[in-house]
């Protein structure tokens, strides 16, 4: 039988996915491949609908695993998502801490809250992020007040949640973060990913987790390329573990 803690986390997951009071086909909510994701039903549910995250249940489960493993092994540090859109993944992170009664870790919520900037010309990111559908949603612009209101609706807006509004290149180098246990990258672009890694990877505790949301998109966006360049420059050889066709993560060694 599921404990109350497990039930809470499962219901929170359905809440941020907007599947609590409706049936959504499994391949829409958790597409097994990019081809399946690129169906109109996915965009209708996630972009036109009210879901608070476009991550899948599998991605939420992976983040939960990383947090709970750090709690179980006593890996020091806070949690951060860099690139939050409507905030559902960050709300889920705060909820996992709440479910475990953790009061000494912060969830950092880093975003421009103005969407992605126009993609740099001649970059990998130029094609995908100039698609009319992406431009129509203002490259994922969501105001901070809206994200805060969503946290509050779940009863999870408190002093363990700290917002870092602004461009990563300006906010992250000076962010008052001491140590991280989980660093989740979801800024899509090469530049956004590299800026995040340069500022925050050195703060990730040994044994902590780096999650790369768009790893599997390969050439479609610059996230994977930035991660590979950063690994090469810093001689990182920790095994990259695929979560599914889309996301990957590794546990920081050393
Ligand atoms: C794909 S969305 C994130 C999706 C989100 N993680 C979720 O749970 O659905 C990408 C986000 O990254 C943010 N972003 C990308 N590059 C950024 C940068 N350089 N500085 C600040 N925010 C950035 C955008 O504003 C957008 O909200």
Closest atom of ligand 1 relative to the 85 alpha carbon: 27
Q: Residues 79, 108: contact at Cβ < 8 Å?
A: yes
The pLDDT, as a whole number, for residue 122 is 86
Check pLDDT > 80 for residue 254: no
For the chain, give every domain's residue range.
Answer: 56-251
Could you give the residue ranges of the DSSP H alpha helices within the chain? 4-17, 26-29, 34-37, 40-43, 57-73, 88-99, 125-128, 132-136, 144-153, 168-171, 190-200, 223-233
pLDDT by residue (tens digit) across 193-223? 999 999 999 999 999 999 999 999 988 999 9
Q: Which residues lie with the beta carbon below 6 Å from any ligand 1 atom?
A: 53-55, 81, 83-85, 88-89, 111-112, 115-116, 140, 167-168, 186-189, 192
Residue 189's pLDDT band (cuts 50, 70, 90) = very high
The pLDDT, as a whole number, for residue 2 is 85
Report d(CA 204, CA 183) in Å as an integer: 7
Rounded to the nearest angstrom, the distance between the alpha carbon of 192 and the centre of ligand 1 is 9
Mean pLDDT (whole number) for 79-101: 98
Query: Cα 30 to the chain's mean position, in Å?
Result: 16
Closest atom of ligand 1 relative to the 114 alpha carbon: 25
Is 56-251 a CATH 3.40.50.1370 domain?
A: no
The pLDDT, as a whole number, for residue 127 is 85
Q: Residues 38, 46: contact at Cβ < 8 Å?
A: no
């Amino acid at each position: 039988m599921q404990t109350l803690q497990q039930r809470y986390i499962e219901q929170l997951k359905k809440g941020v996915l907007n599947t609590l009071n409706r049936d959504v086909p499994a391949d829409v909510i958790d597409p097994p491949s990019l081809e399946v994701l690129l169906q109109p039903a996915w965009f209708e549910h996630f972009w036109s609908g009210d879901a608070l995250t476009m991550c899948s249940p599998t991605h939420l489960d992976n983040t939960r695993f990383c947090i709970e493993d750090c709690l179980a092994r006593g890996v020091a540090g806070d949690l951060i998502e860099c690139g939050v859109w409507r905030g559902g993944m960050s709300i889920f992170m705060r909820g996992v801490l709440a479910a475990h009664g953790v009061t000494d870790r912060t969830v950092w919520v880093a975003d421009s809250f103005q969407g992605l900037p126009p993609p740099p010309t001649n970059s990998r990111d130029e094609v995908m992020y100039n698609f009319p559908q992406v431009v129509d949603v203002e490259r994922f612009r969501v105001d901070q007040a809206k994200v805060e209101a969503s946290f509050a609706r779940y009863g999870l807006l408190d002093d363990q949640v700290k917002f870092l509004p602004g461009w990563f290149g300006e906010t992250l180098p000076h962010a008052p973060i001491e140590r991280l246990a989980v660093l989740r990258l979801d800024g899509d672009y090469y530049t956004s990913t590299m800026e995040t890694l340069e500022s925050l990877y050195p703060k990730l505790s040994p044994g902590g987790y780096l999650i790369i949301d768009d790893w599997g998109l390969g050439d479609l966006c610059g996230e994977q390329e930035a991660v590979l360049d950063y690994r090469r420059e810093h001689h990182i050889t920790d095994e990259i573990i695929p979560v599914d066709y889309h996301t990957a993560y590794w546990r920081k060694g050393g």
